[in-house]
Amino acid sequence: MIQWEHIDTVLFDMDGTLLDLHFDNYFWEEFVPQRYAQKNSVSVDQAREHLLAEYRAIEGTMNWYCIDHWSEQLELDIPALKRELDHLIQIRPGAADFLERLRAMGKQMALVTNAHHKSLSLKMERTRLQHFFDLIVCAHDYGYPKEENAFWQTLAQREKLDLSRCLLVDDSLRVMQQAAASGVAQVVGIRKPDSQRPAQDAAGFVSIDHWSELLTGEQTG
């Protein structure tokens, strides 16, 4: 499926790709509404309806991914709430083995995430995946989310990456479309980013259930 001889660098998304998106979905759609409801003396349903509208209004922007923004906006300590729920942070099955295999193949490996630094460090603390990566890029450092061309151009320039020799694995359709349009050679999606939800439509992109699908035809392993 992947022409590995044409790939030098593999770019991995974090939430929904390496990690189960269940944590994030549950956190924002259940846990935060519960706490918001308690604090503001409204029902959980009312809180959820209000919050989902607030999320949607800025979806895909840098603020949407910014924990400080939400702490301030909702007057809740979002990092502390994440910590309360951190037992739900889970690596998607087979991800660590796959990273090990890629390292053995000699590929450069990068984590590229829209997640805020505080979220990124909590997740690395829980999963210990950081040692697999040659490079960890947090979109907040560039000031552009992966949904924008400027992110990919900044990545290529600052990290001296040839996007035409990169593979991206990501669960966000908007990010996948932008990466392909910005020159990333191969883009692969994740069929079931959240283990508790149905599979998603990858709209023409190849998407995988199991990491081993990416190694089909790989001769060195």
Please report, as ranges, the residues that interact with Mg ion according to CB under 5 A. 13, 15-16, 171
Q: What are phi and psi of 175, to 5 degrees?
A: -70, -45
In whole angstroms, the minimum distance from the beta carbon of 141 to Mg ion comes to: 17
In whole angstroms, the minimum distance from the beta carbon of 18 to Mg ion comes to: 9
In whole angstroms, the minimum distance from the beta carbon of 170 to Mg ion comes to: 6
Query: Minimal CB distance to Mg ion: which residue?
Result: 16
37 or 184: CB nearest Mg ion: 184
22 or 35: CB nearest Mg ion: 22
Query: Containing H/E element for 167?
Result: strand 166-169
What's the distance, Cα to Cα, between the start and end of the chain in Å?
Answer: 15
16 or 145: CB nearest Mg ion: 16
161 or 168: CB nearest Mg ion: 168
Q: Is 160 left (phi over 0), alpha (psi -120 to 50) or beta?
A: left
How many residues belong to the chain?
221
Tell me the two tokens of residue 68: 């400080």
In whole angstroms, the minimum distance from the beta carbon of 221 to Mg ion comes to: 26
Q: Which residues contact 62 (CB under 8 A, 6 or more apart)?
A: 114, 139, 140, 143, 144, 145
In whole angstroms, the minimum distance from the beta carbon of 114 to Mg ion comes to: 7
β-strands 166-169, 9-12 pairing: parallel
What distance in Å separates the CA atoms of residue 121 and residue 111, rounded to the nearest whole number?
12
15 or 20: CB nearest Mg ion: 15
